[in-house]
């Protein structure tokens, strides 16, 4: 490729014919009748070409953009191949694509550029008597310091010559204990729309108030470590290439149509005595086109970093044929007969949540098939359906004898050191009480894996649905057996794959760690626990389905049943999100082709809307 880039401009200067004669291999140095040219002819052409080369060497080439940093006082200017950016102290005040006037940032932001975030929610903005200095270390690196009486904060800024990325590593340390994160704030221009891989895909525009202020912890609600702004045919992406599963968060701050994103570098718990945070590098670049251009880059990086093609190799072929999903199924065999009338069983995925001898969400990790559950599975398998029984990846029932062995490793909240569970403490709910066990604990992982495999073997189930796999967050007991909750889930899934590679895994929620071994996952809707409203529609986006495309497919979770009065909004939100057409229904009499929701879903299947379809925004 290097020689091609050099030859093309050279050819335009000296003539293609002469260059051809010099570069052609001997067998091509022939006349029009394919007979060899005389040696004199070739020598003459070579002499002519050498003269032209000498003349061409005196022509000044087009100016190349050399990435570099330059500083003057508190101002740091970043000149990359695709953009020019400017810092005023630690504040990023401008990012403009080359050859365009579109501004991605704003210079009048009220937010302090580099904050310290404390475990109780407090933030340290400007310290007393702050001193801001910009130190240019080389043409490719600089350090911006914000030092006050009680804190020392910095941005280490560098240019990556290979990618042209502006790389920023925020960090901070202070006198007060309880530091949770260092937050680097990036204020965006009003004209920039934001595409965020949060809660399965969000679209933020200045003229709409929803979604509002929020903090999205990675990977629990911020599903991939990137954020995109787009305007005027260009896109800006901020992303990290961290593969060490360091905790981080995306802070969404909105006011009067203006939006600031805060990129939090979060310290693993416990943080009560912690006084510093940092360790994550954020990369910025600008791309031609809309959000898809940078997301393709990130998706390609994911595939390389996590060897996704290799992980797909053991998956059974049937997963690619699924075009319709049925969620939260009961054990009534009549449901199977009704489903078979509307869609081919072999292309239908069923999530079975009522198959055990115990009630739903009770007695975990006991997973014994009931007679009704076994009968349902036998019939489903005979008809060709693909069924995934429901399990839970980290919940232990409060009366289960195993709890006495694993109680010391119950997850504790990073903010209050409270034991966590569903529901915990008991006065919050009167039906069930389950402790969340840290998945870093090997005793828990082996107990669950053995239980899941034993149940799937009895049921002849080709897949297992692991509930709550989205619930990987920072905890006060941050490391168990040297693993965080994120790493514990990843380790569990890798152990499943090592033991039984053909057992298809599915889960609740999806992120760039859990998706690696999951073929399907239920998708939540942002602020979707109550009735859906029209404002949910324009906020839904297909960025996450685009990221997981070809590897994992999203499923509907709620608001897609014939008895749901908001089903039309639910179906459309999931369509925009890129999820498989999904139905939830406990009445076989309502699973008919003349039911409006069934007709709508089947129309989506027939129209090919079984993967990311609505990606034009």
CA–CA separation, 141 and 68 (whole Å): 8
Together in a domain, 242 and 287: yes
- 342-369 mean pLDDT: 97
Together in a domain, 74 and 166: yes
Predicted TM-score (pTM) of the model is 0.88
The residue out of 285, 305, 325 marking a domain boundary is 305
- For 213, residues 6+ apart whose C-beta sits below 8 A from its C-beta are 252, 253, 254
- For 61, residues 6+ apart whose C-beta sits below 8 A from its C-beta are 9
For the chain, report the end-to-end CA distance as a whole number of angstroms: 34
Q: What are 207's two structure tokens?
A: 């003229």
pLDDT at 244 over 60: yes
CA–CA separation, 189 and 102 (whole Å): 9
Q: Is 255 helix (H, G, I), strand (E, B) or coil?
A: strand
Question: Residues of the chain with pLDDT > 70: what percent?
Answer: 88
Residue 285 pLDDT: 98
Residue 44 pLDDT: 44
**What values do phi and psi take at 542, rounded to 5?**
-95, 20
Evaluate whether residue 357 is within a structural domain.
yes
Helices (H) and strands (E) counted in the chain, each on its own, are 14, 31
Dihedral sign computed on CA atoms, order 419, 425, 428, 434? positive
Q: What are 450's two structure tokens?
A: 């053995």
Q: Which residues make beta-bridge pairs with 156?
A: 143, 169
C-alpha angle 567/222/526, rounded to 5°?
20
CA–CA separation, 589 and 331 (whole Å): 15
- 7-12 mean pLDDT: 34
Evaluate whether residue 427 is within a structural domain.
no
Q: Could you give the number of structural domains in the chain? A: 3
Together in a domain, 375 and 241: no
Question: What CATH number did the domain enclosing 488 receive?
Answer: 3.20.20.80
Q: How confident is the model at residue 614 (pLDDT cuts 50, 70, 90)?
A: very low
CA–CA separation, 136 and 72 (whole Å): 9
Evaluate whether residue 421 is within a structural domain.
no
Together in a domain, 211 and 346: no
Task: Tell me the three-class secondary structure of 174-187, residue by residue.
Answer: ECCCCEEEEEEEEE
Together in a domain, 8 and 102: no
Query: What mean pLDDT value characterizes the chain?
Result: 90
Evaluate whether residue 268 is within a structural domain.
yes
Together in a domain, 85 and 73: yes
Q: Which residues make beta-bridge pairs with 145?
A: 133, 154
Evaluate whether residue 315 is within a structural domain.
yes
Nearest alpha carbon to residue 14 among 57, 61, 64: 57
In contact, 506 and 515? CB cutoff 8 Å? no
The residue out of 474, 496, 522 marking a domain boundary is 522
For residue 549, with 0-12 CB atoms within 10 Å meaning exposed, 13-18 middle and 19 or more buried, which class applies?
middle
Together in a domain, 349 and 293: no
Together in a domain, 155 and 83: yes
pLDDT at 232 over 70: yes
User: DSSP secondary structure string, 208-224?
Assistant: ---S-SEEEEETTTB-S
Together in a domain, 251 and 324: no
For the chain, give the number of residues.
Answer: 617
Residue 470 pLDDT: 98
Together in a domain, 189 and 238: yes
Together in a domain, 300 and 353: no
Question: What CATH number did the domain enclosing 96 receive?
Answer: 2.70.98.60
Nearest alpha carbon to residue 455 among 521, 363, 389, 520: 389
Q: How confident is the model at residue 63 (pLDDT cuts 50, 70, 90)?
A: low
pLDDT at 234 over 70: yes
Residue 110 pLDDT: 87
The residue out of 264, 282, 305 marking a domain boundary is 305
pLDDT at 31 over 70: no
Question: Residues of the chain with pLDDT > 90: what percent?
Answer: 84
- For 558, residues 6+ apart whose C-beta sits below 8 A from its C-beta are 525, 528, 564, 570, 584
Together in a domain, 333 and 322: yes
* Integer Rg of the chain from CA: 29
Residue 608 pLDDT: 81
CA–CA separation, 266 and 218 (whole Å): 10
CA–CA separation, 167 and 242 (whole Å): 13
Residue 424 pLDDT: 81
Range of the domain at 30: 2-57
Q: How confident is the model at residue 425 (pLDDT cuts 50, 70, 90)?
A: confident
Evaluate whether residue 133 is within a structural domain.
yes
């Amino acid at each position: 490729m290097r020689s091609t880039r050099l030859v093309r401009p050279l050819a335009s200067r000296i003539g293609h014919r002469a260059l051809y004669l010099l570069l052609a291999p001997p067998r091509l140095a022939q006349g029009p009748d394919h007979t060899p040219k005389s040696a004199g002819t070739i020598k003459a052409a070579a002499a002519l070409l050498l003269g032209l080369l000498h003349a061409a060497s005196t022509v000044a080439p087009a100016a190349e953009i050399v990435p570099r940093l330059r500083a003057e006082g508190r101002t740091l200017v970043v000149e990359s191949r695709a953009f020019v950016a400017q810092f005023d102290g630690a504040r990023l005040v401008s990012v403009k694509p080359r050859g365009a006037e579109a501004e991605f940032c704003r210079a009048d932001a009220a937010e302090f550029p580099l904050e310290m975030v404390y475990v109780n929610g407090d933030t340290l903005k400007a310290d007393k008597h702050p001193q801001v200095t910009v130190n240019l270390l080389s043409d490719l690196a600089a350090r911006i310091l914000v030092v006050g009486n009680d804190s020392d904060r910095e941005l280490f800024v560098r240019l990556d010559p290979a990618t042209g990325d502006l790389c920023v590593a925020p960090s901070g340390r202070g006198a007060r204990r309880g530091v949770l994160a260092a937050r680097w704030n990036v204020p965006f221009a009003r004209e920039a729309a934001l595409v965020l891989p949060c809660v399965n895909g969000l679209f933020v525009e200045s003229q709409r108030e929803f979604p509002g202020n929020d903090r999205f912890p990675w990977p629990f609600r911020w599903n991939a470590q990137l954020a995109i702004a787009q305007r005027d045919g260009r896109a800006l992406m901020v992303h990290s290439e961290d593969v060490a599963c360091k905790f981080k968060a995306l802070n969404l701050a909105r006011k009067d149509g203006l939006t600031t994103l805060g990129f939090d570098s979060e310290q693993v718990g416990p943080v009560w005595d912690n006084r510093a945070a940092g360790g994550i590098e954020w990369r910025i670049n600008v791309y031609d086109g809309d959000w898809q251009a940078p997301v393709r880059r990130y998706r390609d990086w994911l595939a390389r970093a996590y060897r996704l093609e290799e992980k797909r190799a053991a998956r059974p072929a049937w997963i690619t044929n699924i075009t319709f999903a049925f969620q939260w199924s009961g054990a009534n065999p009549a449901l199977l007969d009704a489903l078979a009338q509307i869609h081919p069983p072999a292309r239908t995925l069923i999530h079975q949540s009522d198959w055990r001898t115990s009630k739903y969400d009770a007695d975990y990790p006991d997973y014994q098939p009931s007679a009704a559950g076994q009968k349902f599975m036998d019939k489903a398998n005979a008809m060709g359906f693909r069924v995934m029984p429901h399990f839970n990846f980290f919940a232990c029932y409060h009366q289960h004898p195993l709890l006495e062995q694993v109680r010391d490793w119950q997850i504790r909240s990073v903010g209050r050191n409270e034991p966590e569970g569903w529901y915990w403490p008991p006065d919050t709910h009167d039906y069930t009480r389950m402790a969340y066990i840290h998945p870093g604990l090997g005793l828990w992982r082996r107990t669950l894996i053995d239980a899941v495999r034993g149940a799937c073997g009895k049921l002849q189930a080709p897949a297992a649905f692991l509930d709550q796999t989205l619930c990987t967050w920072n905890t006060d007991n941050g490391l168990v057996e040297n693993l965080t909750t994120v790493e514990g889930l990843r380790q569990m899934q890798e152990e499943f794959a090592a033991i039984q590679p053909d057992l298809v895994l599915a889960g609740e929620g999806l992120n760039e760690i859990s998706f690696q071994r999951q073929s399907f996952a239920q998708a939540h809707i942002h602020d979707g626990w109550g009735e859906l409203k029209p404002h949910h529609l324009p906020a839904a986006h297909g960025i996450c389905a685009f990221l997981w495309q070809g590897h994992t497919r999203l499923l509907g979770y709620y608001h897609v049943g014939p008895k749901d009065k908001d089903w039309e909004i639910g179906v459309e939100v999931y369509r925009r999100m890129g999820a498989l057409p999904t139905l939830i229904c406990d009445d076989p009499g309502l699973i008919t082709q003349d039911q409006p929701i069934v007709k709508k879903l089947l129309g989506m299947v027939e129209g090919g809307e079984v993967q990311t379809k609505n990606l034009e925004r």
